[in-house]
Amino acid sequence: MSASSRPKRVLLYSHDSYGLGHVSRCRTIANAIVEADSSISVLIISGSAVIGSYEFRSGIDFVRIPGVVKQIDTGEYDSANLRVGVEHTLEMRTRIIRDTADIYRPDLFIVDKEPLGLRGEVEPTLRMLKDRGTPLIMGLRDVMDDPEQLAAEWERKQVVPALADLYDAIWIYGLPQMNKPLQGIDVPPSVRHKTVYTGYLRRELPLHTDAPHEGEEIDGPFILVTPGGGGDGDALVDWVLGAYETDPNIPYGAVIVFGPFMSATARESFKERASKFPHIRTLTFTNNLGALMKQAAGVVAMGGYNTFCEILSFDKRALIVPRTRPRLEQLIRARAARNLGLTEMLDADKGRDPHFMATALRQLPQQSAPSNAIVPGLLDGLPNVIKLVARTLAHPNRGPASIEPPVELETPVADALSSPATRARS
């Protein structure tokens, strides 16, 4: 079999230390790649605790590396589940990532968001694959952070040399009309020349929908409230429930999806408050948020990348309440979207008066839908990614085989590759 006709392999890395956005973005890209070309296999390396809850198309599998969690207040990392130090966990992750890439021998490696991986854990893999001639792609979301903060962070992590020396291309999953994530960063011309804006990644409903019926139980239109993963969503849910408590005659019901990372204490408190309203339903988590969003009259969200793509894809009127710590990412995106007429926004830093939220909830189903704003190429992300992948794989280069016989491996990757997580299908 010639190199151009043999089955091709794509490897995706997603560090997933917080929330759902990274794993959702990688899943969306992986599903689109294998749907466009059935000769491609995609393997995802992820630290997400919920990756096994998602549906993947045939041709996709994943390796779940030991989880770490970022403390929202300090930005520091801890081991998520193992009773070992974070440095030990990161050492295991680094070895699993490198060994997986060594054995899998991808024709293309796409890294999500973190150019060197979490605390540099992907750098050994990048250098190994670079030596083999494997194309290396950096995938960035539309907004990273305030440019001044991002510049300091990237200087500390030595990111710019990696972008210049290791990566063959940088794909930004957004549009420059919304934001230019490299603006304000001192990067050489070579980095800007290999940067491509793809547009946002359109989301579709899953192949096999098991949408919950919470929305259907509400008589009349309802508003979907989603703080994403929920780890930092307490304030949003509290503000929305406060609005209903202040104005019990809000003419729209609500479905509140807490997210899997919201604390049990906060979740139970919110459930008790919501139970006093017959037109409010609550969910801890659903792997099919799109089905609920499609039914909703409007959406209240914090405005992470994943949720923003869903709002655009299902053309939903949305009220964004962005967080401002530890990053300004959501605030920058929300302001840009408001300026383009895509969504509305409430700035929580100006106070959380429940009357303000009640007024916004009343107005939400009447505001303009995203499709009324003319933004060329807004949701062309997946077709463009597919074209970029096909162009890169037109001349696949898998590099030399590992000098170590994989059948003899007793490294951590051997356990990871044979674990139930890698075989799971939602």
Amino acid 208: pLDDT: 56
Lowest mean pLDDT among 46-55, 81-90, 93-102, 336-345: 46-55
| 208 is a domain residue | no
Q: How sure is the predictor about 4, in pLDDT bands with cuts at 50, 70 and 90?
A: low
Residues 325 and 341 in one domain: yes
Amino acid 410: pLDDT: 42
Which residues neighbour 379 within 8 Å (Cβ) at sequence distance 6 or greater?
199, 200, 201, 202, 312, 313
| 344 is a domain residue | yes
| 362 is a domain residue | yes
Residues 358 and 402 in one domain: no
Distance from C-alpha of 72 to C-alpha of 141, rounded to nearest angstrom: 20
Q: Which two tokens stand for residue 226?
A: 């989603």
Q: Which two tokens stand for residue 375?
A: 């933004």
Phi, psi angle pair for 141, to nearest 5°: -75, 170
Residues 150 and 32 in one domain: yes
- Better-scored residue on pLDDT, 99 or 204: 99
pLDDT over 70 at 413, yes or no: no
- Better-scored residue on pLDDT, 162 or 74: 162
Q: Is the dihedral of CA 275, 256, 78, 48 positive or negative?
A: positive
pLDDT over 50 at 73, yes or no: yes
The string of pLDDT tens digits covering residues 255-304 is: 999 998 899 999 999 999 999 999 999 999 887 788 899 999 999 999 99
Amino acid 414: pLDDT: 39
Residues 321 and 411 in one domain: no
Single residue among 331, 347, 372 that ends a domain in this structure = 372
The string of pLDDT tens digits covering residues 361-399 is: 999 999 999 999 999 999 999 999 999 999 999 987 776
| 213 is a domain residue | no
215, 222 Cβ separation under 8 angstroms: yes
Distance from C-alpha of 403 to C-alpha of 307, rounded to nearest angstrom: 44
Single residue among 355, 372, 389 that ends a domain in this structure = 372
Residues 245 and 301 in one domain: yes
Closest Cα to residue 119, out of 192, 65, 43? 65
| 209 is a domain residue | no
Residues 46 and 166 in one domain: yes
Residues 184 and 87 in one domain: yes
Residues 250 and 174 in one domain: no
pLDDT over 60 at 403, yes or no: no
297, 365 Cβ separation under 8 angstroms: yes
Residue written as tokens 């997986």? 100
| 87 is a domain residue | yes
The string of pLDDT tens digits covering residues 293-333 is: 999 999 999 999 999 999 999 999 999 999 988 889 999 99
The string of pLDDT tens digits covering residues 77-127 is: 888 889 898 899 999 999 999 999 999 999 999 999 999 999 999 999 999
The rounded percent of the chain whose pLDDT value lies above 70 is 87
Q: Residues of 240-268 as b/e, b for ≥16 C-beta within 10 angstroms?
A: bbbbbeebeebebbbbbbbbbbbeeebbe
The range of the structural domain enclosing residue 357 comes to 222-372
| 342 is a domain residue | yes
Amino acid 58: pLDDT: 96
Residue 76 burial class via C-beta count within 10 angstroms: exposed 0-12, middle 13-18, buried 19 and up: exposed
- Taking the CB of residue 418, how many other CB atoms lie within 10 A of it? 10
| 19 is a domain residue | yes
Residues 284 and 400 in one domain: no
Mean predicted lDDT score pLDDT of the chain: 88
Residues 47 and 186 in one domain: yes
Residues 262 and 184 in one domain: no
Q: How sure is the predictor about 349, in pLDDT bands with cuts at 50, 70 and 90?
A: confident
Amino acid 206: pLDDT: 67
pLDDT over 90 at 407, yes or no: no
Residues 160 and 232 in one domain: no
Mean pLDDT of all residues in 247-261: 93
**Number of domains into which the chain is organized:** 2
Mean pLDDT of all residues in 198-210: 80
Q: What is the CATH number of the domain that holds 90?
A: 3.40.50.2000
Q: Tell me the three-class secondary structure of the chain, residue by residue.
A: CCCCCCCEEEEEEECCCCCCHHHHHHHHHHHHHHHHCCCEEEEEEECCCCHHHCCCCCCEEEEECCCEEECCCCCCEEECCCCCCHHHHHHHHHHHHHHHHHHHCCCEEEEECCCCCHHHCCHHHHHHHHHHCCCEEEEEECCCCCHHHHHHHHHHHCHHHHHHHCCCEEEEECCCCCCCCCCCCCCCHHHHHCEEECCCCCCCCCCCCCCCCCCCCCCCCEEEEECCCCCCCHHHHHHHHHHHHHCCCCCCEEEEECCCCCCHHHHHHHHHHHCCCCCEEEECCCCCHHHHHHHCCEEEECCCHHHHHHHHHCCCCEEECCCCCCCCHHHHHHHHHHHCCCCEECCHHHCCCHHHHHHHHHHHHHCCCHHHCCCCCCCCHHHHHHHHHHHHHCCCCCCCCCCCCHHHCCCHHHHHHHCHHHHCCC
Amino acid 424: pLDDT: 40
